[in-house]
Amino acid sequence: MNRKNKKKLLVLGVGNILMMDEGIGVHAIYELLKQNWDEKIYQEIDLIDGGTFTQDIFYLFVEYEKILVLDIVKGGQKPGTIYRLTESDLRQNQKQTLSLHDIDLLDSLSMAKMAGKNPELHVLGIEPETINWSMELTPTLAKLFPNYVELARQEIIKLLDPEYEKATHII
């Protein structure tokens, strides 16, 4: 990718949509793809369904300045709890495990760094209620889903324009 055309932000929805709440990151990506975006913002982001294949996506990471991962986070809190995490948070806090994909994401980020790139990693996670065979979110997370998508939208805008947070109230 030509540096001149490089996009600033990769928004990566991670998870398995066959496993109830495990798929919320992927569901969120598809909801964000339906939304109307300011043209300037839309030109600076890529919204990608990362599914469960995070181990070999470092080739994507090298193309962006920042990465926002949407996924579940098992932190032992009440289902629906929102987590905002950085790479440092993930490496330092063993108790907050980013779904089943945290090691793969961190490995991909490390490989990107070995390739001379150093994208900022941000995670907007949500505590799952149940991970079991079904394509439906649990009622708890289904009810919170619109709020989660809106928080993801706000996080995207904030990551592209840090002054945005000062003008709005982002939880």
Tokens 């964000």 found at? 32
Q: Which of the 8 DSSP states describes residue 137?
A: P
pLDDT tens per residue, range 108-131: 777 777 777 888 999 999 999 999
Please state the separation of Cα 51 from the chain's center in Å.
Answer: 11
Domain ranges for the chain: 3-167
Q: Six-digit token pair at 10?
A: 């990769």
Q: Give 13's strand partners.
A: 49, 70
Q: Which residue has the higher pLDDT, 139 or 115?
A: 139
Q: What is the CATH number of domain 3-167?
A: 3.40.50.1450
Among residues of the chain, what percentage have pLDDT more than 70?
82
